[in-house]
């Protein structure tokens, strides 16, 4: 028996794994023969906009963590460290493209134009996702690991049948972007989505944020080969990008989305990044990983490298950075006030929005619950 021992590590080695990178951790621009052509039209204004997106995403996150610590949210899943992967991929989208997120894509939501305060209701437990997916083509958060990759693939097959791809018309052509994590790649749903997308040539981009951890399970427990390589077995291309490099994430996503719109089928992007925080506010990451690992990734910070690049290239001065900070502070204030004023829902609203037309059995259960709750005598009334 011959055993292929060439690759036995999930991270891969430098020799067998090409990482697309356009901006080093020190903020130096790295020339790339191919991917430079995908961002060569980018202006200094657009770089400043990307920096603003990264900063605002980080501020949404830190504010939500603070609100959770103050008891205003039940839970929060932090995006800290993943800002570039999210902003770079999301800014490659056109308005008519569709996004299927997990529960961590707050930076993508921001780029799609969802009011970040609307993200909080789910984590406060007062709604099940309050934004209208049709408004910004940003679908609801999915907690069931990997399930949204099937939804995205099904949606992409619908887009295909609507004749919305391959026309070459930038107003009509549409693609679908599905986000998921490294741990999700072990789910049946994700592998089934890859098969369906592959054989149907569906216009979907699978964007895996490999943040190295699935709660307490390290990447090595999910795979023996770099994740992007799995795509080849399903019949479509895959690549690995520096997930802390917003320019590289933008470039590879632009290319993959255009392939999808042109009718060339799915692709897998593995954004190699790191979850700087705990899995959620309910988790204590110090129980299963070393501080030294965190420290090494801190040096690759996705926001700082853009700041260093802009400063080096004289694209922004201190007044610009102060202005963005002030704007982030205003956003944080908006989050605080909106969150605290969110009313508690009536318990029977849990039955709403399960079906478009609530079936009689479910309606009966809702009415029964209402009667039950009404049967409690209000203490004040009884006195
Ligand atoms: C089907 C399913 N199984 C298990 C869980 C519990 N769970 C929540 S998050 C998580 C880990 C996901 O890791 P990864 O896909 O790497 O995404 P990340 O949280 O790192 O962004 C698990 C197992 C779940 N939500 N759904
Ligand atoms: Mg993960």
Alpha-carbon distance values, 202 to 173, 263, 264, 330 (Å):
13, 8, 8, 41
- In whole angstroms, give the CA distance from residue 46 to residue 91: 10
Helix (H, G, I), strand (E, B) or coil at 239: strand
Q: Strand pairing partners for 313? A: none
Alpha-carbon distance values, 221 to 92, 122, 152, 217 (Å):
31, 30, 26, 6
**Eight-state DSSP code of residue 279:** S
- In whole angstroms, give the CA distance from residue 28 to residue 306: 9
Residue nearest to atom 12 of ligand 1 (CA): 214
Q: Does residue 4 surpass a pLDDT of 70?
A: no
292-324 residue pLDDT tens: 999 999 999 999 999 999 999 999 999 999 999
Pocket perturbation via mutation, ligand 1, pick of 100, 122, 145 by most ligand atoms within 8 A of CB: 145
122-143 residue pLDDT tens: 999 999 999 999 999 999 999 9
CA–centroid distance, 184 to ligand 1, in Å, is: 6
Q: How many CA atoms lie within 13 A of 22 on its CB side?
A: 21
Residue 2 confidence class, pLDDT cut points 50, 70, 90: very low
79-95 residue pLDDT tens: 999 999 999 999 999 99
Beta carbons of 267 and 205 less than 8 angstroms apart: yes
- Tell me what pLDDT residue 12 has: 72
Q: Does residue 209 surpass a pLDDT of 60?
A: yes
79 lines ligand 1 (CB under 6 A): no
| Atom of ligand 1 lying closest to residue 77 CA | 19
**Any idea which ligand is nearest the CA of 181?**
1
Helix (H, G, I), strand (E, B) or coil at 29: strand
Residues annotated catalytic, as ranges: 275, 279, 288
User: 261: Cβ–Cβ under 8 A, 6 or more apart, which residues?
Assistant: 165, 166, 173, 174, 175, 203
- Tell me what pLDDT residue 74 has: 98
**This model's pTM is above 0.75:** yes
- Tell me what pLDDT residue 158 has: 97
| Atom of ligand 1 lying closest to residue 222 CA | 16
Q: Does residue 6 surpass a pLDDT of 60?
A: no
**Any idea which ligand is nearest the CA of 184?**
1
- Tell me what pLDDT residue 170 has: 86
Beta carbons of 204 and 192 less than 8 angstroms apart: no
Tokens of 17: 């794994």
179 lines ligand 1 (CB under 6 A): no
Give the chain's mean pLDDT. Answer: 94
Q: Strand pairing partners for 240? A: 19, 270
Tokens of 18: 């090409």
**Four-point Cα dihedral 25, 102, 177, 139, nearest 10:** -130
Name which residue leads in pLDDT, 12 or 228: 228
Beta carbons of 289 and 3 less than 8 angstroms apart: no
Q: Strand pairing partners for 218? A: 213
CA–centroid distance, 183 to ligand 2, in Å, is: 5
- Tell me what pLDDT residue 381 has: 65
Closest CA to 251 of 47, 45, 89, 48: 89
275 lines ligand 1 (CB under 6 A): yes
Q: Does residue 7 surpass a pLDDT of 80?
A: no
Q: For 337-349, what is the mean pLDDT?
A: 95
Pocket perturbation via mutation, ligand 1, pick of 215, 227, 282 by most ligand atoms within 8 A of CB: 215
| Atom of ligand 1 lying closest to residue 146 CA | 1
Q: Does residue 8 surpass a pLDDT of 70?
A: no
51-108 residue pLDDT tens: 999 999 999 999 999 999 999 999 999 999 999 999 999 999 999 999 999 999 999 9
The 3-state DSSP composition of the chain as helix, strand, coil percent (nearest 5) reads 50, 10, 40
Alpha-carbon distance values, 87 to 10, 25, 27, 123, 139 (Å):
25, 17, 17, 22, 17
């Amino acid at each position: 028996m011959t055993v292929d021992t060439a690759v036995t590590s999930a991270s891969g080695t430098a020799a067998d794994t090409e990482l697309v990178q356009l901006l080093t951790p020190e903020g130096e621009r790295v020339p790339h023969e191919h991917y430079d052509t995908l961002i060569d039209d980018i202006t200094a204004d657009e770089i400043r906009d990307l920096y603003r997106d990264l900063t605002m995403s980080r501020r949404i996150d830190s504010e939500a963590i603070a609100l959770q610590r103050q008891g205003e949210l039940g839970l929060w899943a932090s995006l800290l460290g993943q800002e570039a992967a999210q902003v770079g991929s999301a800014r490659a989208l056109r308005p008519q493209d569709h996004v299927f997120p997990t529960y961590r894509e707050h930076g993508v939501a921001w780029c799609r134009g969802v009011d970040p305060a609307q993200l909080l209701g789910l984590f406060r437990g007062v709604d099940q996702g309050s934004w209208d997916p049709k408004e910004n083509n940003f679908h609801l958060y999915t907690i069931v690991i990997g399930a949204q990759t099937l939804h995205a693939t099904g949606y992409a097959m619908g887009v295909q049948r609507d004749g919305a791809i391959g026309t070459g018309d930038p107003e009509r052509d549409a693609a679908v972007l599905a986000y998921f994590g490294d741990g999700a790649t072990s789910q049946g749903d994700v592998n089934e989505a890859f098969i369906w997308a592959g054989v149907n040539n569906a216009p979907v981009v699978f964007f895996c944020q490999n943040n190295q951890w699935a709660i307490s399970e390290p990447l090595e427990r999910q795979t023996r080969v770099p994740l992007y390589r799995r795509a080849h077995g399903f019949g479509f291309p895959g690549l690995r990008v520096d997930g802390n490099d917003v320019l590289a994430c933008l470039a590879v996503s632009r290319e993959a989305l255009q392939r999808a719109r042109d009718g060339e089928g799915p692709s897998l992007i593995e954004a190699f990044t790191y979850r700087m925080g705990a899995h959620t506010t309910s988790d204590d990451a110090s129980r299963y990983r070393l501080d030294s690992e965190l420290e090494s990734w801190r040096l690759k910070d996705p926001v700082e490298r853009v700041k260093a690049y802009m400063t080096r290239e004289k694209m922004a001065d201190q007044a610009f950075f102060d202005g963005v900070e002030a704007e982030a502070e205003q956003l944080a204030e908006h989050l605080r006030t909106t969150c605290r004023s969110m009313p508690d829902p009536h318990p029977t609203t849990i039955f709403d929005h399960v079906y478009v037309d609530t079936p009689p059995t479910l309606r009966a259960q809702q009415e029964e619950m209402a009667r039950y709750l009404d049967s409690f005598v209000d203490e004040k009334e009884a006195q």
